[in-house]
A and B are shown apart, each in its own frame.
Chain A
Amino acid sequence: MKRALFSLFALVLFFSGNMQLWAQAPAWQQIPVPRLPAFHPPQPKRVELPNGMVVFLQEDHELPTIDGTARIRGGGRSVPANKTGLTDIYGEVWRTGGTKTQTGDQLDDYLEQRAAKVETGGGVDSTSVSWSCLKEDFDDVFRVFVDVLKNPEFRADKIDIAQKGMYDGISRRNDDPGQIAGREAAKLAYGANNPYARVAEYATVAAITRQDLVEWHSKYVHPNNIILGVVGDFDSAKMEARLREAFASWPRGPKGETAKDPEFKPDPAKPGYYQVDKTDVNQSNIQMVALGITRKNPDYFAASVFNEAFGGGFSSRLFNDIRTTKGLAYGVGGGIGSSWDHPGMLRLMVSTKSKTTIESIQAIDEEIADLATRPINDEEIKRAKDAILNSFVFRFDSPGKVLQEKMAYEFYGYPLDFLEKFQAGIEGVTKEDVARVAAKYIHREQMAVLVVGNVNEFDKPLSSLGTVNKLDIAIPAPPPGLLPEQGEHP
């Protein structure tokens, strides 16, 4: 069967016309590739507790460890704009601020003596508490995990440290050109004040109080709002009993109230050119952006094949033309980005020396224009699909990865067999599908083009391509007295 695949490949090369006809298949194609043995990765057991908590149990007996993560609905996108940064502070102080009975420092000492971790975090759509420990320490560590999950204290001294850390991050955010480009490109694609792009400022972080953290916790952390995944060296039946016992007395939270995510209201920047002048660099970071798609979009599979062929790895057009053939860039790539429950970013990126800035933008323009006149061909489609399908096994080659996939599907309301659907979806993608998604989503004239670079060194002014909007990235000053005096007085 595999041999047939290879001869089909050779046939494709023949019809594509630009390859030499081998008298004999090249040496590498003569090496037998046996059928991959059937592999059915262990599937986690899904349990729904009476209080609504969804639990996934995944046994993995290779190492004597047990790890778990509780993912809680509700994240940064639900925070009011004037408190941007709240889930970052919450995600840190939830753990560092300790519990009702133990300070965070006491927890640190207790856990580190066991080389164990209990950590919390805040993200855009959820927050989390996780643990990792050696099997022998499970009882000790799980007790801390439950205590942190249910009884955080958010002590003020740790809020102070977390806020100072965020002020530091804000003060440094214009030091690295790649960071500037990533941040500003998201603002162009989603809108500067959109929850998926906005950034914390001194004032929004300073406005966050302990009361905010306490209220956030009591609003969101309820069992019916939690997905808990456990992986490691345990017996599922015993672990299930253990978890049922641990959470039996925890009542279900208010119905419907939990995790109402804000409606997605993008406010993309007008198409055109946007420039950030940075005089201490010799390379321009260029990003062309627009809104992408969600993975629930039926075009997701064709978009995945398109991305692989156009802007993915070694095989992609952007890599071959802009990096290998033209030598313009080390970093180049991109595609139609996708997220689980809101549109991702469509993004094409290239980093090039200042004096080939305009040349590189035009090189990408050419690649986009080429999509209409020289559509992704059979050979490219074949290679892209092969790359995705032949490496498919790496999506589930460990019990931990399988667990993570399932937890994501549960969290975002995807069918639990989405992975199998994905495989079938990719297999079904045709050349016409790829041409269709390229035409549907890749519109150069609708993209915002961001250039972060040393403007005076460009090959031509950016304005030679169109109207340029200069972005002001100066960091808004902190409220008076927030930070210690800097500068003249040592």
Chain B
Amino acid sequence: MKVRLTSIQTIVACFVLCSLGLGQDLASFEKRTTVKKLANGLTIIICERPEAPVFSFFTHVDAGSVQDPMGKTGLAHMFEHMAFKGTDTIGTRDYAGEKVALAKVEEAYAAYIAERDKPVDRDEQKLKQLEQSWKDAIAAADKFSAPYNNEFGKIVEGEGGEGMNAFTDYDETGYHYSFPINRLELWAYLESERFLHPVMRQFYKERNVVIEERRMRVDSDPFGRLLEQFSEEAFAAHPYHRPTIGWISDLNAFSATDAQNFFDKYYVPSNMVVAVVGDLKASEAMPIVEKYFSRIPTRPKPDTATTIEPAQNSERTVVLHQQSQPLYLEGYHRPDYRSPDDQVYDAIADLMSNGRTSRLYRALVRDKQIASDAEGFTGYPGNKYPQLFAFYASPLPGHKPQEVADAIHAEIERLKKEDISDEELRMIKTRAKANLIRSLGSNEGLASELGLYQARYDDWRELFRSVDRIEKVTKADIRRVANQTFVPDNRTVGIIEFAGGAPGTGAAPQGGGQ
């Protein structure tokens, strides 16, 4: 894998030398961007952007829900929540005592789960007792931490932290916020400390919080329900078929020990990139950042092998009969982000979807007037592994999903049979450059982009080179890739059909009268 990456880099380097355009931006960033790989394997990027006395950071961990163990979906995301629970010195009255109490919680939980999940001969009386013991153990452990609830977040907020948050997706986990520049050292301490001494305290209450997040984003949201079913159908073998938030039975099963194990395995320094952007000088900031992050011990890089999704070879469809209005979604398998055609897919997405000149807008919204919105996008549900290029449309009242499907297919056929125009190709390339330029104007945006590109390609310069590769895309590339990708046996369709509303729910077929 490493070898393949390197060979792509070589090809890319040639593109860059040959191209003009953004060379100036890259040169400017070369001067103010410093990368250092620490002895423990962790990569630090510092980008100087002295616009205001503030900085933003982005910690990229190269592990997402794809790495969730079997039967423990949702674990990567669960750990992300736990990374806000403090450390052995932040968020506790007495860690030595708390540690013992937390171990008892795990013991009690294991006993409870063992009884709960017995296939036969479950003793209900015993189960009740075990559950009570587990809850008592939690109450005992909470005594150490309760007065210090959320101390980590309280410190960050009180010190002026802005936009503190994190996300987990299939491919990675990201942590980010911004601070006034005088808190650089404080930040380096806090951010390294949370990955040096995380403590899985208040785990089972936080698990309930995460289950509420699932209820909000998936169970109670028609589009969330559609996406979950759609992904499950589109991917048979690769972990992209599982929900990042986790299946409910897994959420009700995994333990704090599981989260700690996930951390131990995947939060290793060589799996982490920390990008810092703002009013700092690399010569002064790097030693500070290095001092704190070097404390994280080296651990072996985890095995990241996953099943490769086999060719689909059959059209698949999921239809959800809902109380909500119709939606249409379809996706086609495509290779991962390292494919030489990666930017061809980007070009197709731009052509089909970007603004009122896009082909889908003009066909479905402006001319046929059968949809309120229609787009094509790549990178679903992630892009690190072979993924989907997807299309969706919202049918207007009185129009059916099949009508928008037919219209999308007509546009796809056009893409396969006719070259796109010179104007369209030029527009795609101009927009790619302009979008890149506009993305360079914020600390938050830059930190996440530099961190992501460094993690994916082992070189942040790919952020600029990807635009150079769009510059190389030809009309023939677009036809070739469209013909390869957009074929019925490579397609999965997801549809919400309106199935009538329960009385009093306000659900009615589009157009009102029932």
Q: What A residues does B223 contact at CB under 8 A? A: 176
Query: Cβ of A324 and Cβ of B182 under 8 Å apart?
Result: no
Question: Could you tell me if B372 and A164 are in contact, using CB atoms closer than 8 angstroms?
Answer: yes
CA A478 to CA B505, docked complex, whole Å: 18
Please, what's the 1-or-0 string for B157-193, where 1 marks a CB less than 8 Å from any CB in chain A? 1111110100000000000001011110110011001
**If A41-B52, A281-B220 touch, does A63 touch B510 (CB 8 Å cutoff)?**
no
Assuming the contacts A113-B423, A114-B430, asked whether A475 and B161 have C-beta atoms less than 8 A apart, the reply is: no
Residues 96-118 of A, flagged 1 when their CB comes within 8 A of B and 0 if not, give 10000000110011001111100
- Whether B504 and A277, one on each chain, are in contact in the complex, defined by CB atoms closer than 8 angstroms, is yes
**B219, A324: Cβ atoms under 8 Å?**
no
A contact residues around B437 at 8 Å (CB): 63-65, 134
**B365 vs chain A, min Cβ distance (A):** 7
CB neighbours (8 Å) of B205 from chain A are: 324-327
Binds B, one of A29-37, A71-79, A143-151: A29-37
Give CA–CA (A353, B52) in the complex, Å: 44
B509 contacts A486, C-beta separation under 8 Å: yes
> Quick check: A115 and B208 within 8 Å, CB to CB?
no
Nearest residue in A to B433 (C-beta to C-beta)?
A115
- Cβ of B37 under 8 Å from chain A: no
Which A451-490 residues sit within 8 Å CB-CB of chain B? Answer: 470, 472-478, 483-487, 490
Assess whether B513 is interfacial by the CB under 8 Å rule.
yes
Interface status of A274 (Cβ within 8 A of chain B):
no
By a CB distance below 8 angstroms, the chain A residues around B324 are 172, 174-175, 280
Q: For chain B residues 340-399, which have a beta carbon within 8 Å of chain A?
A: 354-357, 365-366, 369, 372, 394, 396-399
Given contacts A175-B325, A393-B53, contact A485 B149 (CB under 8 A): no
- Is B150 an interface position by the 8 A CB rule? yes
> Nearest chain A CB to B476's CB is how many angstroms away?
22
Question: Are A283 and B216 touching (Cβ within 8 A)?
Answer: yes
Per the bound structure, the CA–CA distance linking A328 and B155 in Å amounts to 24
Spot the interface stretch: A210-218, A384-392, A423-431. Answer: A384-392
CA distance A171 to B326 in the complex (A): 10
Please, how many angstroms separate the alpha-carbon atoms of A475 and B186 in the complex? 54
B502 at the interface (CB under 8 A from A): yes
A377 within 8 A of B: no
Known: A32-B185, A278-B505, A383-B158. A325 touches B153 (CB 8 A): no
Asked if A165 CB lies within 8 Å of chain B CBs, one says yes
Determine if A167 is an interface residue (Cβ-Cβ < 8 Å): yes
B220 adjacent to A474 (CB under 8 Å):
no
B53 and A36 contact, CB distance less than 8 A: yes
B154 contacts A by Cβ under 8 Å: yes
> Which of A33, A116, A324, A472 is in CB contact (< 8 Å) with B183?
A33
| Residue total for A at the interface (Cβ-Cβ under 8 A) | 100
- A470, B84: Cα distance in complex, Å: 40
A453 (CB) vs chain B CBs: closest residue = B220
Are A35 and B182 in contact, CB atoms less than 8 angstroms apart?
yes
| Contact with A483, one of B94, B164, B510 (Cβ below 8 angstroms) | B510
A176:B398 contact, CB within 8 angstroms: no
Given contacts A327-B206, A353-B212, contact A96 B183 (CB under 8 A): no
Query: A476 near B154 (CB under 8 angstroms)?
Result: no
Q: Are B397 and A387 in contact (CB under 8 A)?
A: no
B434 touches A393 (CB 8 A): no
CB closest residue in chain B, given A96: B356
Residue of A nearest to B85 (CB): A324
- For A277, what are the chain B residues with a Cβ–Cβ distance below 8 Å? 502, 504-505
Q: Once the chains bind, are B209 and A330 in contact (CB under 8 Å)?
A: yes
A352 touches B222 (CB 8 A): no
Residues of B within 8 A of A283 (CB): 212, 215-216, 219-220
Q: Do A28 and B366 touch (CB < 8 A)?
A: no
For the complex, give the distance between the alpha carbons of A434 and B426 in Å: 59
Q: Would you give the shortest CB distance from B487 to chain A, in whole angstroms? A: 27
| B212/A352 in contact, CB under 8 A | yes
Contact of B160 among A26, A63, A393 (CB under 8 A): A393
CA A282 to CA B202, docked complex, whole Å? 24
Q: Which residues of A contact B84 (CB under 8 A)?
A: 314
Q: Does A62 contact B (CB under 8 A)?
A: yes
- Cα separation A326 to B149 with both chains bound (whole Å): 12
Within residues 42 to 57 of chain B, which ones have a CB less than 8 A from any CB in chain A?
51-54
CA distance A472 to B435 in the complex (A): 45
Residues of B within 8 A of A387 (CB): 157-158, 160
Kindly provide the distance from the CB of A304 to the nearest chain B CB, expressed in whole angstroms: 14
What's the least CB distance linking A112 to chain B, in Å? 5
Shortest Cβ distance from B72 into chain A, in angstroms? 20
Q: Quick one: closest B residue to A399, CB to CB?
A: B51
Q: Does B484 contact A (CB under 8 A)?
A: no
Give the CA-CA distance A349 to B263 in the complex, in Å.
33
- A390–B160 CB distance below 8 A: yes
A27 & B189 in contact (Cβ 8 Å cutoff)? yes
Interface residues of B in 440-494 (CB under 8 A from A): 440-442
Q: Once bound together, how far apart are the Cα atoms of A175 and B509, in whole Å?
A: 11
Cβ of B149: which chain A residues have Cβ within 8 Å of it?
Answer: 320, 324-325
Nearest residue, chain B, Cβ from A277: B504
Determine the distance from Cα of A278 to Cα of B501 in the docked complex, in whole angstroms: 9
Q: Across the interface, which residues of B come within 8 angstroms of A27, CB to CB?
A: 89, 189, 193
Bound form: Cα–Cα A475–B206 in Å: 38
| Candidates A114, A276, A313; contact of B506 at CB < 8 Å | A276
Hey, which bits of chain A sit against chain B, CB under 8 A?
2, 18-20, 26-28, 31-37, 39, 41, 62-65, 96, 104-105, 108-109, 112-116, 132, 134, 160-161, 164-165, 167-169, 171-172, 174-178, 180, 202, 276-283, 313-315, 319-320, 323-331, 351-353, 382-383, 386-387, 389-394, 396-398, 470, 472-478, 483-487, 490
The 10 closest A-B pairs by CB, nearest first: A390-B160, A314-B153, A484-B398, A115-B434, A327-B208, A477-B512, A327-B205, A281-B220, A397-B52, A473-B506
Instruction: Name B's A-contacting residues (CB within 8 A).
Output: 51-54, 84, 89-90, 93-94, 146-147, 149-150, 153-162, 164, 178, 180-183, 185-186, 189-190, 193, 202, 204-213, 215-216, 219-223, 322-325, 354-357, 365-366, 369, 372, 394, 396-400, 423, 426-427, 430-431, 433-435, 437-438, 440-442, 502, 504-513
